[in-house]
Structure 1
């Protein structure tokens, strides 16, 4: 078996997974930040429960294993004590996770520029200054986007979600996509066809419900419902983790980056993407399985 990569950031540590004993029916949502992680966790929580009125309590019931802010011994003991089918979250690329043939790894991606601008909004909604150096309040010099393009996939910069970290996630997942337990999903496809995403996940997880139940589950996972009930669906909702739980679900739209970057910034992004990915891989990472045009609008 190939040795696992180690990802260490100011907030995250992939070695924490060493304390988790995986079970054959575990479901792990793996994605870069702001690519639909919470949305996918919500869908999976709804499918595992079969109840549209659940309160997922992600931080407790579906924990983010990588993050250092929680004592890992407590997290591991809580996971071990669970008697139901478990689901967890990771922002570690697939080459840094323990691989188990029967575990389901649900890898979620989004157009990197949409993810970047979503992360900008995310850090402004935090009541702490963790990311101020990379995402300054006043950014007339364009430092934020330069950081996005220049940061590395590991180390001091990886938790600030640079482009290199997104690309490492995608390449690591793509390299394992031939394995039956590894499945790739795209935010744009979730927006286009949410019922289809539910159907695909049901097949992957071996879950089925009567059509009326499925319809209610799909409705519960809709963006507007999640925003209206942000205290239920935002990570650590109702606990003051965000300035506003509702603003965690700020827009849920694609293409928010358009008109926000200079020609030079777009050209620099375009050069990195074209150098790193094949046209087919780039098209999928940016647009999913839809008919979006390859490349950015220069």
Structure 2
């Protein structure tokens, strides 16, 4: 697809997808950072394998194609050599990805403020200084939240995950949501009903497991189990990439910003959300199905 939007930052490059030969049964997990990417990838890995003890090795077996850390020819060769059903990860919005009529695209979102505060924790847990200007360690002047609100959706800013990038991600997914192979999931809904998430995904991916096996898979994907086995489930877990694999699964909770933002900051966030989203879109992006029921 030649009319894809280009997303090029210091960490990611959407042109890398040009080297991926898409198969009809491929599964793409497409999300802004810290919105449940690893969780959804793990659920997909569990369903594809049917094994609650599967060694997910997400960074190798279900690679993040956009990231520029690994040479793309090596990633493409590894993907081409896979004989099993494949799944890949992307932090590129849907308008920057190659669209196949049969492959499944699973777009996962989370309350933008929860994602933002989770990202704050994440940048302190990885050995990378790219975004220090967005996330200074001693932020007594509130620079981080200002950058979250005024950062652009693309280029360098996009990789630092400002609100504009999250909104662009969401709108690009919504624009394609009428396709039968593009599905939107929300972190809050997954938290409230993890078995229901497994059931929905099983149907989308055309996978069936006996009920007792499915129960074991659901248990494996609970937050407590993934955190307790962080070396297995964290991206590049057990390889020393992060300062702490366990801290990658910091809390899994919502409302992280409560009491941490001023009224003025919350209002500025609200104004920006309302400027770009309808009330229904905002309700879902923040709270999932529960938001729509209270809209």
Aligned to 1:98: 98
Deviation at 1:2, TM superposition (A): 7.7
Structure 1 counterpart of 2:264: 264
Q: Tell me which residue corresponds to 1:65.
A: 65
User: SS of the residue aligned with 1:102?
Assistant: coil
Contact kept? 2:31, 2:37, Cα under 8 Å:
yes
Paired residues of 1:279 and 1:294 also in contact (CA < 8 A): no
List aligned pairs for 1:118-197, cutoff 5 A: 118-197=118-197
Q: How does 1:14-33 map to 2 (within 5 A)?
A: 14-33=14-33
Q: TM-score, normalised by structure 1?
A: 0.97
Please state how far the C-alpha of 1:127 moved relative to its aligned partner: 2.4
Is 1:252 the counterpart of 2:252? The answer is yes
Q: Is the 8 A contact 1:30 1:94 kept in 2?
A: yes
CA 1:291–1:164 in structure 2 vs 1: closer, same or farther (change >3 Å)? closer
Q: Give 1:131 shift.
A: 1.9
Tell me the equivalent position of 1:45: 45
Structure 2 unaligned regions, length at least 5? none
CA distance in 1, matches of 2:212, 2:279: 41
Alignment map for 1:193-232 (pairs within 5 Å): 193-232=193-232
Residue 202 (structure 1) shift:
0.2
Alignment RMSD: 1.3
Give the structure 2 partner of residue 237 of structure 1.
Answer: 237
Checking the alignment, whether the CA contact within 8 Å between 2:108 and 2:184 is kept in structure 1 is yes
Q: How does the TM-score come out when normalised to structure 2?
A: 0.98
Task: State the 1:294 CA deviation.
Answer: 7.2
Structure 1: segments with no counterpart, 5+ residues: none
CA-CA distance at 1:291 after TM superposition: 4.3
Aligned to 1:88: 88
Alignment partner of 1:273 is 2:273: yes
Inter-partner Cα distance in structure 2 for 1:148 and 1:11? 17
Deviates more, 1:257-266 or 1:22-31: 257-266
Specify the SS of the correspondent of 1:29: strand
Shift of 1:128: 2.8
Residue 13 of structure 1 corresponds to 13
CA distance in 1, matches of 2:144, 2:291: 30
**Farther-moved stretch of structure 1 (123-132 vs 57-66):** 123-132
- Quickly say closer, same or farther: Cα 1:151–1:291, change in 2 above 3 A: closer
Contact 1:33 1:115 in 2 (8 A): yes
Local SS of the residue matching 1:54:
coil
Contact 1:22 1:100 in 2 (8 A): yes
Alignment partners' CA distance in 1, 2:263 and 2:283 = 20
CA contact (8 A) 1:282 1:294 kept: no
Q: What secondary structure is seen at the aligned counterpart in 2 of 1:38?
A: helix
Partners of 1:231 and 1:238 within 8 A in 2: yes
Offset from partner CA, 1:42-89 (integer Å, 9 cap, x none): 000000000000110011100000000000000000000000000000
**1:215-247, Cα deviation, whole Å (9 max, x unpaired):** 000000000000000000000000111100000
Correspondence for 1:77: 77
